[in-house]
Every structure is written in structure tokens, then in C-alpha cells.
């Protein structure tokens, strides 16, 4: 007991000190949350009552207005409502409206409005919302909320915290006593023996032959240890954190140093001729952002369509070129497509058919038989290139995205021993939506040629299994997430994609303060001008129009941001030969022009639109210079812009507003999650982001950056390669077991 007290008494003292420190912090945190909720609630009520109030003001009936306000105060939290008429200087309010609040008071506190007001029954919260009619302010609507309910909840919280620490102290004390007792009785030694898988010995060195109560535990522990060794041994033996060296170690130890083949439509580097000289460009693509660091680590071969105007001039006799140009570490094998092939395969079937089909972004997919023929032909070209580049009959092939859905089955037919990992970078729709495609069965059969099929989220995995179960003759095992079809098994797994960590030094070497000043000087804006930022391909799924409407709504509801806040939208041109994309670009330009005409002044534009290609160094400079980043995708597989913004903010400042329809929103709940179709909600999120305290920004950024640093792109690739290594080992074991 004396030994136990040595642990229990200091522990109790520490817990008491922690409780005293935590309770005031919890009170402040709860109060801050509720005050923000009351501000948001007041804005919502003001938007709801604006039209009815203007009608009653037009009638000139003060009695009707007071009666209307009395009905509003039936809400138990709404203590009083008042309206200060801008023209008359008259206050119209309920009887409960505090007498010390007058129209003159609000005018005196225009820059710093009254927020809290004491009363005999507790504190009152005061919110002032401007009311406008036809662009001019007619008055101020004042809401007074009773905050007594916050005090009651704070008291309940303090009680809960107290009981929690008491219970925690009792539990820890009990565990301490039990462990001490077990130590005296020799249980610790017995547990260690079990973990080593040895036979338990009795005191005196005699083996125990009768331990029935411990034998099931020993058996389960030995089984668990074997599973852990099989599943995680490669990572534990290479490195604790995921780095390029960890990937190389996997290739060396688990995959015997075999070269990796990556196959995608888009190449990571384009050679283009401009002004008589050849330049190197990196396309704006989430796929390239994720895969390029992997290829640097693995030193493999990337097979892709050569789309640059000078690509043919830079390859060798085998259509290969070493990249990156400054420090070559892997090769690109380029394929050449005719104009008809590119039009039918890429612009036609892939981007007018599969892209809108999978994104469900209210654009009707278009399917043509001629496009399907070109899609098959080009997929066959890629399959032949894989065979030419493969050094063995069992390569590891990473097939990327919806452009190459038929490729896994074609590779399987040509190289039966290959390990094929296919990753689908865009969402997978529900079975009803996918059934629209006339060639749905052929696409599914092509994907089921994969050894492993990966998606960003579990939701997309579930949709794929449902689609196969509904549309094909295949055995779907939902316990192991495998599909058996045509004598082959395909594992369907979730692999959330990410970015390189830490970001390249050239992207973050410029100090944040310098970036802020340089960007504002470049745009001709004051040093304290607030900036928002969005960077996307010019695509209708990215929610750019909805983003602009949210900025417009913010300036309508919060006039104080006019002239003080601008939103920079960088949009890289994409698929401009498709009519839907041409129409979308025209809509984006028109909406930006309309908003700028409505709210802009000399030297000030609310929307700064840049439809042009930007290099990564420039994009990261914007990331580090702005106050918020807005990702408003209407449907997205993951969206790496959100993660790039967080990686760039090593200063711990900046706010991320993130669409709930991105895969990233499931990993980054500390962002401000919004429905991009709800324009009022997005406008409110912009205001919250622009007024968020620096300490709260730092807390949110720190948590999200910690997740990205651990779950980086090397972990994404490493998990797929580890699963492939396990699959290859099992295949060799089964092969040996069937030998005579």
C-alpha cells in the first residue's frame, strides 16, 4: 500500500492542478463559441426578416413593426429586438429593449460596436445588422440575446470536468494498485513469457502443463504478433516516417528492386516551343502533383502521351527523355496520338463521357460509338508500350485514372504475371449513374484486370462494389473487399492521396511577409488589404462560379469588406476545344466582370481573375501571401490544392475553406467545411475566415499540417506497394504449393 500511495498522491495532486487550469479555459472557449453562434444566428434572422420589415416600414405603421418584433422575441433566447431608422433617427423596439441602447449610441460605436451588455439577470449579447434597400442603408436592426443559458451550460460543463477528473483519478489509482499487486504475484513475468510465445513456468523452474485459463490468450497473442509482423514489417524495418528513402527500401527489400512503370495520359513534363526556344512546363494536374515525387524516389519509367509542341524534338530513338531536366532521376516514354485519336479518346469519351458521368456535376455526359473505338485503340497503344518497357514478365505497373480503364485487362492478357495497381483519381458514382454508360460492362471488366484497385475514399470503394454487384456476373466479398471475376481476384482498397512533404525548399524559401508585400504591391493594393485565393483548372466541377457568388454575397451582407477584400482566382485553361468548357470560361469571365462593375472602384477589384498557366513557385507565393484559400469543388476525388495550401503555411496563419464534396474534407475537419451550393453559408464562412483570431488559425493549421506530414504522398504510394508486395509473396507461396 505504501508503494501504491507513492504513485497515487502525486497523481492526485497533478490532476487537481490540471482541473484548476482547464476549467477557466473551458469556460472561455464555450463563451467564445456561443458568441460566434449568436453572431451567425443574428445574421440569419436579419436575412429572414429583411423583406417583411421593409414592407412594414413602407406602410409607416410602428404598431405593426412592434407587434412583429414581439412575435420574434417569443424565442426564449431572443431577449429584445429594435430597429434604428436611419432617416428619422427613431428607435422602434420591444418593451424589453435595454434603455441604455439608443440610436445615437450605435452611431458613436460604428467602428467598434457594442457586443456585451450587463443586466440584473446576467449578461446580454448585442448584434447590429445593417438593413439595406435598393443598395442604400435604411437602418440598423438590433438583436439582444439572453446569455443566461450560456452560464447554465458553463456550470454544467464545470461540474462535468470536475467529475471527469475525479473518475479519472479513481481509475488510474485502481490500475496502479492492480499493477503493483500483479507485480508482487509474478503476473508481469508471466505476461512477458506469453508475448515471447514461451511455455509458462511455475516458481522453482517447473513447467506448467495445466494453464487452461491462459492458453487461449497465449494463442491469440501469438496470432496477432504474426499478423503484425506480416503486415507492418517492411515499414518498421525501413523507417518510421514515410520518405523517398522508405520507398526505395520497399523496392529493394520487398519488391527486389524491380523498376516501377507508371502509365497515365498526362505527362509530368512538357517540352513546348515558345519564341523560338524550347521551354519545360509542368501541367496543372493533381495526378502529376502526387505521382511526380514518387517517380523521383523510385527511378522508374513513366509512360504518357506526348502532348507538348516540342516533345518529339527532345526524345531519343526509343521515344524516351530523362527528367527532371535539372536533376534527371527517371524517364518518360512518350506515345504519339493522331489528331483523330486524341479527339475521340481524350476529349470525346474520357472528358465528354466519363468525366461528367463520374462527377455528377449537372452536365450531361455524351457518348459516341466513334469515341469509344478511339478509346479502345489508344488503350491498346498504351498496353503495347508497357510490354515494350517491361524488363521482365512480372512488372509492377501503376495505371492512373479514368483515361485508361481498359488498360489493366489488356496488360493482364499480355503479361499474366504482372502486378497491376490501378488508381482511380476521380469519384466513382452510384450504380444507377454509372449504368448510363453504354459500355459499362467493358469498362468494369477492364478495371477488374487489376491486382489492386484504389480509390480516394471508402465511399467510392463502396460505390464500385455496388456497381459490380449490380451490373456484372462476379463474386463480391464485402468482408475482404475483393472481387472475383474471370478466374482472377481484384482487391479494392482506399488509398487517400496526398502531397510531397515537406514541400520543396524553393517553394517556401521566400519569407511569408515578403510574399504578402510583393503580391499586394504587384496588384496595386494596400499592405493591409485582405486577400482570398483559389487555384484550379478551368473546369465546371471546381465550383468557381459558386465561389464568385459567395464573394458577391459577402459584399452584400458585409459592406465593411468593400474596398478591403479581394479574391484572386487563378484558373489554368483546360480542354478548351470542348464546347462545355468554352461556355464555362465565358460564364466565369462574365460573372467576374459583373461583380467588379457592381462593387469595384478606381484601383479596387473584388475579383482578380487570372486565366493563365502559373508555375508552382508562383502558386506557392500566392499561398503564402493570402489570408484564406477557398476550395469549392462541386464533386472531387480528393483535391490537393487544400493540402498544398496547408503545406505552404509554415507560419501557422491562414484559413482553409473546404467543400464538403471533396475527399479532403473527410481528412481535414479543422477546415471551415461548407456546402458550395449554399451561397449564404459560403459567404458567412468567408466572413468567419477573415475575422478568425490568429491563435485559432494557428491551432487549426497545426493539426492539419501534422496530418499531412504523416499521411504524405510517400505513405500513399508505400501502402499500395506494400499491398502489392504481400500479394506477390502469397502468389509465390501458392505457386510452390501446387508443384508436384
Residue 349 lies in a domain: no
| Span 606-628, pLDDT tens digits | 999 999 988 889 999 999 999 99
Residue 192 lies in a domain: no
Residue 201 lies in a domain: no
Q: Pick the closest to residue 453 from 261, 731, 720 (CA basis).
A: 720
Grid coordinates of 673:
467545411
Set 125, 359, 425, 460: catalytic member: 425
Residue that the C-alpha cell 523507417 belongs to: 239
Provide the pLDDT for residue 197: 46
* Domain end residue (candidates: 439, 465, 494): 494
Do residues 44 and 16 share a domain? yes
pLDDT band at 2 (very low <50, low <70, confident <90, very high): low
Three-class secondary structure assignment of 197-231: CCCCECCCCCECCCCCCCHHHHHHHHHHHHHHHHH
C-alpha 26/C-alpha 48 separation (Å) is 33
Domain count, the chain: 3
Indicate the average pLDDT of the chain: 85
C-alpha 449/C-alpha 406 separation (Å) is 8
Do residues 10 and 60 share a domain? yes
Provide the pLDDT for residue 402: 96
C-alpha 29/C-alpha 21 separation (Å) is 13
Do residues 445 and 531 share a domain? no
**237 pLDDT exceeds 50?**
no
Beta bridge partners of 322: 331
Question: Is 425 designated active site?
Answer: yes
Do residues 455 and 561 share a domain? no
Domain boundaries, position 29: 2-153
C-alpha 189/C-alpha 200 separation (Å) is 9
φ/ψ (deg, to 5) at 342: -65, -40
Residue 355 lies in a domain: no
φ/ψ (deg, to 5) at 309: -65, -20
The distance of Cα 219 from the centroid of its chain, to the nearest Å, equals: 41
* Domain end residue (candidates: 117, 137, 153): 153
Do residues 693 and 593 share a domain? yes
Do residues 49 and 23 share a domain? yes
pLDDT band at 166 (very low <50, low <70, confident <90, very high): confident
pLDDT band at 189 (very low <50, low <70, confident <90, very high): low
- Residue 542 DSSP class: G
Grid coordinates of 650:
509554415
C-alpha 43/C-alpha 129 separation (Å) is 7
| Span 526-553, pLDDT tens digits | 999 999 999 999 999 999 999 999 999 9
Give the burial class of 470: count Cβ atoms within 10 A of its Cβ; 0-12 exposed, 13-18 middle, 19 or more buried.
middle
Q: Which domain CATH number covers 304?
A: 3.40.50.2000
> Greater confidence, 440 or 229?
440
In the chain, % of residues over pLDDT 70: 86
Do residues 459 and 515 share a domain? no
Do residues 417 and 321 share a domain? yes
CB neighbourhood size of 678 (10 A) = 14
| Span 339-371, pLDDT tens digits | 999 999 999 999 999 999 999 877 899 999 999
Q: What is the mean predicted confidence (pLDDT) over 208-219?
A: 53
Cβ atoms of 298 and 330 within 8 Å: the answer is yes
**Of all helices (H) and strands (E), which one includes residue 571?**
strand 565-572
Q: Which domain CATH number covers 45?
A: 3.30.450.20
Grid coordinates of 153:
451550460
Give Cβ neighbours of residue 320 (< 8 Å, ≥ 6 apart): 301, 331, 332, 333, 334
Residue 324 lies in a domain: yes
Cβ atoms of 495 and 423 within 8 Å: the answer is yes
Q: What is the mean predicted confidence (pLDDT) over 509-521?
A: 96
Do residues 489 and 516 share a domain? no
C-alpha 659/C-alpha 681 separation (Å) is 11
* Domain end residue (candidates: 153, 182, 214): 153
Set 539, 636, 687, 723: catalytic member: 636
pLDDT band at 233 (very low <50, low <70, confident <90, very high): very low
Do residues 481 and 518 share a domain? no
Q: What is the mean predicted confidence (pLDDT) over 192-205?
A: 46
- The DSSP secondary structure of 483-520, one letter per residue, reads EEETTEEEEEEE------SSPPHHHH-S-HHHHHHHHH
Residue 473 lies in a domain: yes
Do residues 662 and 522 share a domain? yes
Question: Is 636 designated active site?
Answer: yes
**294 pLDDT exceeds 70?**
yes
| Span 571-592, pLDDT tens digits | 989 888 888 899 999 999 999 9
Residue 203 lies in a domain: no
Do residues 439 and 547 share a domain? no
Cβ atoms of 466 and 430 within 8 Å: the answer is yes
Amino acid at each position: 500500500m505504501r508503494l501504491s500511495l507513492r504513485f497515487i498522491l502525486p497523481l492526485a495532486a497533478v490532476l487537481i492542478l490540471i482541473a484548476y487550469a482547464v476549467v477557466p479555459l473551458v469556460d472561455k472557449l464555450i463563451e467564445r463559441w456561443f458568441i460566434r453562434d449568436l453572431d451567425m444566428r443574428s445574421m440569419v434572422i436579419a436575412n429572414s426578416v429583411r423583406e417583411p420589415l421593409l414592407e412594414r416600414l413602407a406602410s409607416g405603421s410602428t404598431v405593426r413593426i412592434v407587434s412583429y418584433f414581439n412575435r420574434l422575441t417569443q424565442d426564449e433566447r431572443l431577449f429584445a429586438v429594435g430597429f434604428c431608422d436611419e432617416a428619422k433617427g427613431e428607435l422602434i423596439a420591444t418593451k424589453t429593449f435595454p434603455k441604455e441602447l439608443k440610436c445615437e449610441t450605435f452611431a458613436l460605436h460604428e467602428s467598434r460596436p457594442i457586443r456585451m451588455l450587463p443586466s440584473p439577470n446576467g449578461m446580454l449579447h448585442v448584434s447590429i445588422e445593417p438593413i439595406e434597400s435598393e443598395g442604400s442603408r435604411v437602418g440598423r436592426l438590433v438583436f439582444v440575446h439572453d446569455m443566461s443559458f450560456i452560464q447554465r451550460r458553463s456550470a454544467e460543463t464545470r461540474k462535468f470536468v470536475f467529475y471527469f477528473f475525479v473518475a479519472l483519478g479513481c481509475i488510474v489509482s485502481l490500475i496502479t494498485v492492480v499493477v503493483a499487486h500483479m507485480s508482487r504475484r509474478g503476473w508481469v513475468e508471466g505476461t512477458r513469457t506469453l508475448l515471447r510465445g514461451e511455455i509458462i513456468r511455475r516458481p522453482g523452474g517447473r513447467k506448467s502443463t495445466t494453464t487452461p485459463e491462459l492458453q487461449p490468450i497465449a494463442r491469440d497473442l501469438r496470432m496477432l504478433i504474426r499478423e503484425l509482423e506480416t503486415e507492418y514489417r517492411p515499414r518498421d524495418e525501413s523507417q518510421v516516417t514515410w520518405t523517398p528513402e522508405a520507398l526505395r527500401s520497399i523496392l529493394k527489400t520487398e519488391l527486389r528492386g524491380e523498376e516501377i512503370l507508371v502509365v497515365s495520359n498526362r505527362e509530368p513534363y512538357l517540352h513546348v516551343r515558345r519564341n523560338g526556344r524550347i521551354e519545360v512546363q509542368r501541367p496543372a494536374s493533381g495526378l502529376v502533383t502526387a505521382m511526380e515525387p514518387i517517380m523521383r524516389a523510385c527511378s522508374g519509367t513513366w509512360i504518357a502521351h506526348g502532348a507538348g509542341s516540342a516533345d518529339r524534338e527532345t526524345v531519343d530513338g526509343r521515344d524516351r527523355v530523362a527528367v527532371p531536366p535539372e536533376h534527371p532521376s527517371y524517364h518518360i516514354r512518350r506515345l504519339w496520338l493522331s489528331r483523330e485519336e486524341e479527339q475521340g479518346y481524350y476529349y470525346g469519351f474520357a472528358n465528354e463521357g466519363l468525366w461528367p458521368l463520374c462527377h455528377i456535376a449537372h452536365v450531361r455526359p455524351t457518348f459516341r460509338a466513334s469515341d469509344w473505338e478511339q478509346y479502345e485503340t489508344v488503350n491498346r497503344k498504351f498496353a503495347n508500350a508497357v510490354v515494350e518497357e517491361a524488363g521482365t514478365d512480372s512488372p509492377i505497373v501503376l495505371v492512373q485514372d479514368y483515361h485508361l480503364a481498359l488498360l489493366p485487362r489488356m496488360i493482364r492478357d499480355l503479361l499474366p504475371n504482372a502486378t497491376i495497381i490501378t488508381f482511380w483519381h476521380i469519384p466513382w458514382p452510384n450504380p444507377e449513374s454509372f449504368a448510363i454508360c453504354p459500355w459499362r460492362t467493358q469498362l468494369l471488366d477492364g478495371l477488374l484486370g487489376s491486382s489492386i484497385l484504389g480509390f480516394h475514399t471508402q465511399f467510392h470503394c463502396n460505390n464500385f462494389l455496388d456497381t459490380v454487384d449490380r451490373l456484372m456476373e462476379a463474386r463480391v466479398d464485402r468482408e475482404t473487399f475483393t472481387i472475383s471475376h474471370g478466374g482472377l481476384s481484384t482487391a479494392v482498397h482506399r488509398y487517400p492521396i496526398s502531397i510531397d512533404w515537406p514541400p520543396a525548399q524553393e517553394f517556401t524559401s521566400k519569407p511569408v511577409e515578403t510574399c504578402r508585400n510583393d503580391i499586394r504591391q504587384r496588384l496595386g493594393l494596400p499592405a493591409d488589404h485582405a486577400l482570398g485565393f483559389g487555384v484550379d483548372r478551368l473546369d465546371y466541377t471546381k465550383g468557381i462560379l459558386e465561389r464568385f457568388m459567395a464573394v458577391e454575397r459577402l459584399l452584400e451582407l458585409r459592406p465593411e469588406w468593400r474596398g478591403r477584400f479581394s479574391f484572386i482566382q487563378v484558373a489554368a485553361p483546360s480542354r478548351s476545344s470542348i464546347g462545355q468548357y468554352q461556355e464555362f470560361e465565358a460564364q466565369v469571365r462574365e460573372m467576374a466582370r459583373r461583380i467588379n462593375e457592381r462593387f469595384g472602384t478606381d484601383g479596387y477589384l473584388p475579383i482578380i481573375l487570372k486565366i493563365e498557366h502559373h508555375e508552382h513557385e508562383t502558386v506557392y507565393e500566392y499561398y503564402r501571401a493570402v489570408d484564406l484559400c477557398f476550395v469549392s469543388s462541386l464533386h472531387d476525388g480528393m483535391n490537393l490544392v487544400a493540402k498544398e495550401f496547408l503545406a505552404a503555411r509554415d507560419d501557422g496563419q491562414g484559413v482553409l475553406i473546404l467543400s464538403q464534396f471533396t475527399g479532403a474534407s473527410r481528412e481535414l475537419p479543422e477546415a471551415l467545411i461548407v456546402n458550395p451550393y449554399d451561397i449564404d453559408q459560403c459567404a458567412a464562412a468567408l466572413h468567419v475566415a477573415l475575422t478568425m483570431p490568429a491563435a485559432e488559425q494557428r491551432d487549426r493549421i497545426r493539426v492539419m499540417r501534422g496530418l499531412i506530414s504523416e499521411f504524405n504522398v510517400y505513405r500513399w504510394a508505400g501502402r499500395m506497394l506494400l499491398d502489392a508486395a504481400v500479394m506477390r509473396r502469397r502468389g509465390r507461396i501458392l505457386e510452390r504449393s501446387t508443384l508436384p
